[in-house]
Amino acid sequence: MVEFKANFREVNLLKGHRLGIGTYGAVFKAKCDSLIICAAKVLHPTLFNPAMQHQIAAERSHVAPIRKFEQECEFLSTIRHPNVVQYLGLTEDPDTGLPVLLMELMDENLTHFLHQGELACDTDQQPEIPFRVQINICHDIALALSFLHSNKIIHRDLSSNNVLLIGNVKAKLTDFGMATYALTQLTFTRSPGADVYMPPEAVWNDFPTYTEKIDCFS
């Protein structure tokens, strides 16, 4: 299991301020040293039940949830880029004793941002998302991918859920649980990310071969 390392004397998880929830865990606000507000990814305790781990692994054979968490911590702790969410460290959930991933706090994900834009258009409250904002978001994503691919890292799970925004000013990539190093074209697991974002070669074959272009398609 990952080692607890955080450059803070005290970390308080604010579980009354949940930012989101997923299959493997939830994200809450956290206060570090009574000054810094950040995001904290907390795993569901049931994932550490051996029987539950076996069931999940059988359904999602490409990666067990615990390994996915460890992998995300590993990648985030070793990369630094203005368009990749900033890793702050690891701490322990005092309620469960499980590891917690600390990251910089962002405003929302791209899915929510686009959805709010669609609702506004439907109700004529404001114009659609300005073209310059669309370009800026796409440019930020491209910069992050260029950095990752130049370092032989494939994200493999790029979607609007995994693009976080600070207002509509800056976009950053997150969720590196499916990321991998690829020095050459290799055989990987089928459809590592959400099917709707995956290219044909990652979906149609049980043991597909693909490169960093999988991220460009997404």
Residues involved in catalysis:
157
Region at 34 (left for phi over 0; alpha for psi -120 to 50; beta for the rest): left
Which two structure tokens, joined as six digits, stand for 167? 């207002």
CB 191 within 8 A of CB 203: yes
Q: Give CA–CA dist 173/60, Å, rounded.
A: 23
Quick one: DSSP state of residue 132? H
For residue 2, CA distances in Å to 69, 90, 91, 206 come to: 9, 8, 10, 30
Quick one: DSSP state of residue 84? B
CA atoms 145, 151, 152, 157: torsion sign: negative
Sheet of 99-104: strand order equals: 11-21, 25-32, 36-43, 99-104, 87-92
Long-range CB contact pairs, 206-209, < 8 A, 24+? 209/185
